[in-house]
Structure 1
Amino acid sequence: MKIVFFTHPHFLGHQSMPRYANWLARGMEERGHQIDLWSPEGVLSALPLSKGPLKKWLGYVDQYLIFPLQVKKKLKVLPPDTLFVFTDHALGPWVPLVKNRPHIVHCHDFLAQRSALGEIPENVTGRTGKIYQSYIRKGYTAARNFISISQKTQADLHRMLSRPPHISEVVYNGLTRKFAPADDVFLLRKELSGETGINLQAGFILHVGGNLWYKNKSGVISAYEKWRSKSTQQLPLLLVGENPDDILKAQIDSSPFKADIHALVGMPDDFANKAYSAASLFLFPSLAEGFGWPILEAMASGCPVITTGEAPMSEVGGKAAFYVSKLQVDSEQEWREECAALIDRVLGLSVDERLALAAHGADNVRRFHSNSALDSVEEIYIRVADEVLLRRKSELHEQHSNRHQR
């Protein structure tokens, strides 16, 4: 089968979406399909004078004016049974180009869409942002076939659609990187202490994530402070990810425990792997997620996980995670108390309890095997392509019958 994957342009600097697209493309190629990746080139946005807001707007021209013209030209030479795959529903504006040909849209999270509709007060969207999200929504709602990465994403998708989809399936992401529990936790903590210059030999609390509003990094710091104020333990907090913004820096600087709060920026993947394996617990109280990769990564490393007890975090964590309520603006103090108490409970687990929990987590992670996910995706791709082919044969047969009757 010939499959064309529409992907985000490289000049946007995305990381997770290109990885996802490459995972799909590589998986389908390994299964014997002929694949191609299409994305806009930085024609105007790459010009030397293209900077700041101008670069952004020229990037829109590259994506939504120049690229569609290129696609229309390419479509003329492709066989009619080519399957067109949109690796993210945010690529919706290109869907109408192939809506009458075999196609499917992968859906991740609808946080930007929901924010633009005023459903998420923590993330207010401006006027131009609302227009842009409406443009995206108009595009992907023209599609008939969808794959969502969680039940939560699928539910949001169905609310956005004006008509029932022809095909709508859930395929959880597959864990593509290798994670494993440490052979010797104490030796690994000693190694990390040397790498970071931080004394981690007694253990530490870990958070991995960026500064986006829904990651709730401020809540991580706040919950840690509440736990420290009540506990005799003095485990440090490691924040692995992006450099904290000014608001987070101010929160850390004003903390009575700032000497033990460490933001580690630009760390390689293997550092994160080791940190998961060496951490005393992983704290991930997100307000929302599209999926929640770090939950799986920590579990696969044998690390206890505390996350938010709402989908999709609860879909991913299953019965192997510890859950806290979602942080609400009007009950922040109660949430901090709840989170601190749970941190204390998890840190108080016996060795046998931690071993049993790690085994339970490993069982949960097996639900998200990469090859199994790709097999499910391939089956849906084939079903979409076959149904379109059968429908066309039926239409041709009907046309032939009508001509014969005349």
Structure 2
Amino acid sequence: MRILYDHQAFTLQNTGGITLYFYELLKYLRTVQGVETTTLLGYSSTKWPLQSQTAPPNRLVHWGPRPVASGMATFVLNELLLNPLVVVSGQFDVYHNTLYRFMPGARATARVATHHDCVHERFPELFPDSGRIVRTKARMFHEADLILCVSSSSRDDLLHFYDVDPARTLVVHNGVSPPQRTSSGAGALLKVARRPFLLYVGIRASYKNFDGLLTAFARSGLHRHFDLLALGGGPLNAAEQAQIALLGLSEQVISIPYAPPDLLAEAYAQATLFVYPSLYEGFGIPPLEAMASETPALVARSPATTEVCGNAAIFFEPQDKADFAAKLIAAVEDEPLRRQHVDAGLALIPRYKWTRTAEQTLAAYRSLFSTR
């Protein structure tokens, strides 16, 4: 079986959940006899070590890091250079694209797309180009022979926002890679963590509810004894800095705009509590990473997070400020509650193995040919 993967997500994202998803698929597929993958990265600054995971008969086209800082400019360049290349690459059995469209030059018997979430559809005001993205996704879903959904919740959203035949959809859950601690990570954390801390990871777009976390942190009084460590997501913007100052948290909020994996792994392991306040997710990998690190996770209740985390997370109602603050306090101070959820988290993690995700994905590819 010849399988094609394209550059799109790897061009626009150096790291993150979507590129991790495809990295884990490729890592597994290289071990399967009778499967040949072609991955067209072009120019990409991806942090995932795809080169080390690619050996004949698998093929990786990677010309080096982005030649310009702009991901979108590099995207256009890759489209111009890779489309002629894919035209002469012959016929593939499966083309599984990595983001919102299929490359026009690619020839494949079956086309597969993965639906992660409907953030552009639910929060169009956050994205100036949301209309274009939604139209592009609609075209992609129309062209796809199979749409993989990372959760039942994401499938429900897909069917709500798009005219898609449910028979062309299949739920295949994401996996989780337990963060690997290192001595370098321990040293890096010592430089930034002055006292016990709560942990927030990732981008802070408004639907992620980081502002709600700041308010709850101040309201709880936990800032007297704990810091809030925000890893990744880029520098704090002016509005975030102003809110932090207004709440009197300037000394208690520590932002590390770009966090390497070793620091992230150590932070997960040493955090008193991981907090995931997002109002909306299609899946939500970070709470599982915290659970794999034996750290309790306080998670905003939503269809996806309740599906994925089950009884292993401590849930709060994200629109209820008092509940958020109260659950923060309980999740830090109630030791039996903490132990209960650490144990539940460790019991949950084996359900989310990337090898299982990849096996189910390959089975889905093969099913497209058993019905032809």
Which amino acid in 2 is paired with 1:318? G
Match of 1:204 in 2: 197
1:142 and 1:208 map into 2 onto residues whose CA distance is: 35
Distance 1:61 1:345 in 2: 51
**Alignment match, 1:106:** 114
Change (3 A) 1:310 1:78: same
Match of 1:175 in 2: 176
Alignment pair present for 1:216 and 2:209: yes
Q: Which is richer in strand? A: 2
Instruction: Give the match's secondary structure for 2:109.
Output: coil
1:308-319 matched pairs, under 5 angstroms: 308-319=300-311
Contact 1:144 1:165 in 2 (8 A): no
After superposition, the Cα gap between the structure-2 partners of 1:10 and 1:356, relative to the gap in structure 1 and judged at 3 Å, is closer
Structure 1 residue 279: Cα displacement: 1.5
In the alignment, what sits opposite 2:312?
A: 320
Equivalent residues in 2 for 1:74-113, closer than 5 Å: 74=89, 77-78=90-91, 82-88=93-99, 90=100, 92-94=101-103, 98=107, 101-112=109-120
Contact 1:292 1:313 in 2 (8 A): yes
Q: What amino acid sits opposite 2:2 in the alignment?
A: K
Secondary structure of the 2:303 match is: coil
Show the counterpart of 1:185: none
Q: Is the 8 A contact 1:93 1:135 kept in 2?
A: no
Distance 1:267 1:318 in 2: 28
Q: Quote the offset at 1:221 in angstroms.
A: 0.9
- C-alpha change, 1:4 and 1:107, in structure 2 (3 Å) is same
**1:263: which partner in 2?**
255
Aligned partner of 1:186 in structure 2 is none
Q: Distance in 2 between matches of 1:359 and 1:313?
A: 18
**1:19: how far off?**
2.9
Partners of 2:163 and 2:223 in 1: CA distance: 56
Q: Which residue of 1 aligns with 2:55?
A: none
- C-alpha distance in 1, partners of 2:157/2:247? 38
Give the whole-Å Cα distance in 1 for the aligned partners of 2:332 and 2:211: 21
Work out whether 1:72 is the aligned partner of 2:87.
yes
Give, in angstroms, the shift of residue 67 of structure 1: 4.4
- Distance of aligned partners of 1:252 and 1:261 in 2 relative to their CA distance in 1, 3 Å threshold: same
Q: Is the 8 A contact 1:83 1:385 kept in 2?
A: no
Q: 1:10 to 1:174 in 2, by over 3 A?
A: closer
- Post-superposition offset of 1:274: 1.5
Question: Rg larger in 1 or in 2?
Answer: 1
How far did residue 66 of structure 1 move? 5.8
What SS is found at the alignment partner of 1:104?
Answer: strand
In the other structure, the counterpart of 1:356 is 340
1:143-200 deviation per Cα after TM superposition (whole angstroms, max 9, x unaligned)? 12111111121112223442415432111111124458x9xxxxxx99677322x432
Q: CA deviation at 1:310?
A: 0.5
Counterparts in 2 of 1:316 and 1:165: CA distance versus 1, 3 Å: closer
- Could you say what secondary structure the match of 1:257 adopts? coil
The count of corresponding residues between Structure 1 and Structure 2 is 348
Q: Distance in 2 between matches of 1:8 and 1:195?
A: 36
Distance 1:31 1:277, change over 3 A: same
| RMSD of equivalent CA atoms | 3.2
- Is 1:384 matched up with 2:363? no
Specify the alignment match of 2:134 in structure 1.
133
Shift of 1:7: 3.4
The answer for the alignment partner of 2:228 in structure 1 is 237
Q: Which moved more, 1:2-11 or 1:29-38?
A: 2-11
The structure-2 alpha-carbon separation of the partners of 1:281 and 1:95, relative to structure 1 and needing over 3 Å to count, comes to: farther
Which structure has more helix as a fraction of its residues?
1
In structure 1, what is the Cα distance between the partners aligned to 2:339 and 2:280?
A: 29
2:299 aligns to what SS in structure 1?
Answer: strand
Question: Could you list the runs of 5+ residues in structure 2 that have no partner in the other structure?
Answer: 45-64
TM-score by length of 2: 0.82
Sequence identity (%): 20
Supply the AA of the counterpart residue of 1:366.
P
| 1:120 match | 123
Counterpart code for 1:24: L
User: SS of the counterpart of 2:103?
Assistant: helix
